[in-house]
Structure 1
Amino acid sequence: MRVLTASATLAAAIDARTPAHRDRAVDGLRALALLAVPTGHWLVGGFTLDAGGGLHNASPLATVGALAPASWILQMLGIFFLVGGYSSYLSYQRRAGSAREWTAGRLRRLGRPVLGVTAGWALLLPILYYGFGFPTVTLHTASTLVVQPLWFVGVYAVITALTPYCVGASRRLGFWAAAPLLGSVAVVDFLRYGPYADTVPPWLGLLNLLTGWMFAYQVGVSWADKRLSRRQAWLLLAGGAVLFATLLLAFRYPVSMVGVPGAVRTNSHPPSLLVLALAAAQSGAAVLLRDRLARLLSRPTLWAPVVIINLLAMTILCWHQSAMLAVALPASSVGEIAGLTAAPDTAGWVLARLAWMPLFAGLLVAIAKVARPLDAPWERTGVARRVAVGVLAAGFGYFALAA
């Protein structure tokens, strides 16, 4: 009873401190998209053990095909970029300094947590190797998982730097500013998978990396710019849904929204047209449900978790794989454990992994309490310490990517 009373009191206090102009619906969408990232990674991030006890990455998507449609729900990066564009537009319009100063401030906010997690793991690796005797292959596997979500931060940072151009495009073209991005991805996909696929260079798909993820961001900018009407939101929802179904059924796009080991084609790295179709449908639904979601989040007990999740956004993104590894690494020393180190090749493994996920979540909360200060501004951090952090981060990145 005391816990419930304390929680209600905290929720009421958070609600009371929330400015009246705060867009609760947008914050709620961001929190939902954030939670989908660890949920998805924890669900498909399986392992196997080799004869020497080394830990290797594996995915249940390679053997449990029925799990693939779950990625349609858990792939919410489109929503994340949508609210990112929305929030960046408002922040850009309220900026006190120049566009360059605004961009630099945003990039610093994105870069600090990345440097924190990579430098932290650079210090941890020697302890795990020399102090606990984990094999090199296990540490390579862990490092790969740690850097796996960080590609998103890099792409998001580049797109954030292009915010002034997105604002200009919205003012000139309104809602239709995102159409050229969709068309560009469609052309690249046609070249990659159409009748001329054998004649195009393998790097061509990388052209979709920026334009593909920028699509929803541009829609978000136009939404904040009041250039996206409800009628156009319905067009996004219906058009995205029809395009999604057409690509799956008529053009045989892969069912999974994330990469499947051994598959020739992937939808996510870089994003295919199917990812944009899903992002369009999700964006349209988000705009249409905005008012209803805002009313729902007017309740303090629902609003308080949203505030906390948003405050810990970069911490969650950067450290959620570490929470899973905090369980998987010790388990690898024991042997094959269902849902952890046993091969993810049955539906039973999926059920076992679901049972482990509350522990991952609890550990992420504990890690966040320690890692949160790493996201704070570094004004009081000396030059030597900043250089040391940069060197450690670079060394860890090299180790992880050379795995």
Structure 2
Amino acid sequence: MDALRALAIIGVVLGHWLVTAFVATGPGELRVASPLAGMPELAPISWVFQTLAVFFLVGGYAAGKGLRPDEPWLPLLRRRLARLARPLPVLVVAWLPAAEGLRWAGLSDGTVRALAKLVVSPLWFLVVYVALTALTPVIAAVWRRLGLAGAALLVAATALIDAGRFALGAPAWIGWATVLTGWLVPFYLGLAWADGALRSRRAGLVLLAGGATATAALIVFAGYPASMVGVPGAAVSNLSPPTLAAVAFGLAQTGLALLLYGPLTRWTRRPRVARAVAGANRSAMHIYLWHQTVLMGVTVGAFLAAGTLPGLHTAPDRPGWVAARFAWLPLLALVLAAGGAVARLRRSGARTPGPTRTSQVRTP
């Protein structure tokens, strides 16, 4: 399960780094763009790197395993929320002066606002994740009563909401209800998995084939976007809010995760792999919260120091841009890793105890 979470983290980071572009439009001006707008044929990239359903699947599994009949849920929830919330103030404290520094360096207010929005936007995931985690006892009770029919009801609810806003003239704001119904599907299935369901290879094959077929049908015949991430300027996004196509795609990812569980378990028995997976999970929140800041820091720093550079500040509308962006990925990864190392050193320094007198040490 830790390996699945690590793969999901890698998917999110690489996905954002590959589909988020900043185009220099003038002195101090950077416009946010996406290669998926200029090159829609790259939509399959989003199928590889949009891994949010895997996060919710693993989260549901972990929450289900954390339920104990003899232990109250609230204390455990507080501990989990503390681990999630601890890095957030650091991000806020860092960005408040950084925003003013960017204005002082010559970036326009519009550019600074666009950058800040990209920092804040990933936090919606944490809000939904926390809400579903808090509701784990209720979700578990529904699972025990309805079984897999509960997941089918959530998919049907998402389909009805989509039908309302796309075909029946309902107000667009009702679509935000799918933030709950849509992401609850993989979370619910993760909890079911923790309870002993979905452990057969057949379950994985059915979910993978059924989810992939449904996703393809919705794209080809129902007009859903092919991209599984938002594209600037597009009329409909599969993520904001999640659509039925995103839910179907999440079912396919759930099936693939079930099929990969055995091979990943064997793979992570190797000591080096186990250490790498453990390190990725220890740094999961740092990676998730800071990877966009790293992208923007490198992009803005290079822009202020050297002007327009290929793959960082040029329009993402040609294959050459993709090649240039791939060339920047090692530097982005290095900066992110360096920041993680500094954060770990600070945490270890804060935990280092002072000198302890022998008389104060208790023996068992």
Shared topology, TM-score over 0.5?
yes
Distance 1:47 1:332 in 2: 10
Distance 1:111 1:146 in 2: 16
- What's the RMSD between the two structures over aligned residues? 2.0
After TM superposition, the structure 1 stretch with the greater mean CA deviation from structure 2, 350-359 or 104-113, is 104-113
Distance 1:169 1:374 in 2: 43
Residues 4-403 of structure 1: matches in 2 within 5 Å? 26-93=1-68, 97-130=71-104, 132-194=105-167, 196=168, 199-230=169-200, 231-333=202-304, 334-372=306-344
Question: How far is 1:326 from its partner?
Answer: 1.9
Deviations, residues 74-95 of structure 1 (Å, cap 9, x unaligned): 111111111111011112238x
Deviations, residues 266-290 of structure 1 (Å, cap 9, x unaligned): 1011111111111111111211231
Deviations, residues 115-146 of structure 1 (Å, cap 9, x unaligned): 2212221132233333x343333322221121
Structure 2: gaps (5+ residues): 352-364
| Large movers: runs of 4+ above 4 Å | 372-376
Distance 1:268 1:375 in 2: 35
Secondary structure at the counterpart of residue 48 of structure 1: strand
Distance 2:249 2:182 in 1: 12
Question: How far is 1:102 from its partner?
Answer: 2.0
Distance 1:30 1:282 in 2: 13
Distance 1:97 1:117 in 2: 33
Secondary structure at the counterpart of residue 49 of structure 1: strand
Deviations, residues 223-256 of structure 1 (Å, cap 9, x unaligned): 0001224233332222212211211121121100
Residues 170 and 184 (structure 1), Cα distance of their counterparts in 2 relative to 1, 3 Å cut: same
Distance 2:345 2:196 in 1: 36
What is the percentage of aligned positions where both structures have the same residue? 42
User: What corresponds to 1:396 in structure 2?
Assistant: none
What is the aligned residue count?
348
Question: How far is 1:373 from its partner?
Answer: 7.5
Secondary structure at the counterpart of residue 47 of structure 1: strand
Asked if 2 retains the 8 angstrom alpha-carbon contact of 1:259 and 1:266, the reply is yes
Structure 1: gaps (5+ residues): 1-25, 380-403
Distance 1:375 1:90 in 2: 28
Asked if 2 retains the 8 angstrom alpha-carbon contact of 1:323 and 1:363, the reply is yes
Asked if 2 retains the 8 angstrom alpha-carbon contact of 1:240 and 1:279, the reply is yes
Distance 1:169 1:313 in 2: 30
2:336 corresponds to which letter in structure 1? L
Residues 190 and 158 (structure 1), Cα distance of their counterparts in 2 relative to 1, 3 Å cut: same
2:300 corresponds to which letter in structure 1? L
2:89 corresponds to which letter in structure 1? L
Question: Which structure's relative contact order is higher, taking Cα pairs within 8 Å and 6+ residues apart?
Answer: 1
User: What corresponds to 2:354 in structure 1?
Assistant: none
Distance 1:244 1:326 in 2: 36
After TM superposition, the structure 1 stretch with the greater mean CA deviation from structure 2, 145-154 or 39-48, is 145-154
Question: How far is 1:97 from its partner?
Answer: 4.5
Asked if 2 retains the 8 angstrom alpha-carbon contact of 1:88 and 1:163, the reply is yes
